Amino acid sequence: METTANKVTWSIDPAHSEVQFKVKHLVISTVTGQFTSFSGGLETNGEGFDNAKAVFEVDIDSISTNNNDRDNHLKSADFFDAENHPKLIFVSTGFKKTGDDTYEVTGDITIRGNTKPIVLKAEHGGTMVDPYGNTKAGFEITGKLNRKEFGLEWNGVTEAGGIVVGDEVKLLLNLQFARN
């Protein structure tokens, strides 16, 4: 991404960012996972982030829940089907300031070939110049989705009739962007 006229572009700094998700397991505990390979950026009109445009991609093969068997199952056709759908993609349709440092980010998220609208909350942690002269901006982004709406249908049932994997997935992204 490049800067032209009033347009300012920002790229995700993956070394200072993380993409996590949380889902209930057996309804009694939460499993946290993350994706370790992702990219994306913002395009703003000047210095502010109101009405920014955001694009974000995650490599499904980079999923990690600290359990290889579970990670391989999540990559399989039972869940993400990484072989046929290697990316999770988000493209914003709106980036609206809702408070001093808060935004509502709307957009379309594509998982396993299924595209659905999503609303995310973003908190701008600030903008700083690092020791090397690079301008950085930090955001904490949260949201949730129903995995079954995206074709991640698999589930097991315990002997007592309980569900193994919850339907709601909580998203937590801590992203640092570098001004290009």
pLDDT tens per residue, range 86-137: 999 999 999 999 999 999 999 999 999 999 999 999 999 999 999 999 999 9
pLDDT, residue 156, reads 52
Say which residues have a Cβ less than 8 Å from residue 85's Cβ, sequence separation at least 6.
Answer: 60, 111, 112, 113
Is 3.30.930.10 the CATH classification of the domain at 7-179?
no
Model confidence over 133-152: pLDDT tens digits? Answer: 999 999 999 999 988 888 77
Which pTM was predicted?
A: 0.89
Integer Cα distance of 19 and 63 in angstroms: 10
Integer Cα distance of 42 and 53 in angstroms: 5
Q: What is the dihedral of CA 121, 99, 129, 12, to 10 degrees?
A: 20
Domain ranges of the chain: 7-179
pLDDT, residue 27, reads 59
Q: Is residue 98 helix, strand or coil? A: coil
Model confidence over 31-74: pLDDT tens digits? Answer: 899 999 999 999 999 878 999 999 999 999 999 999 999 899 88
Average pLDDT of the residues in 25-36: 80
Enumerate the β-bridge partners of residue 56.
40, 90
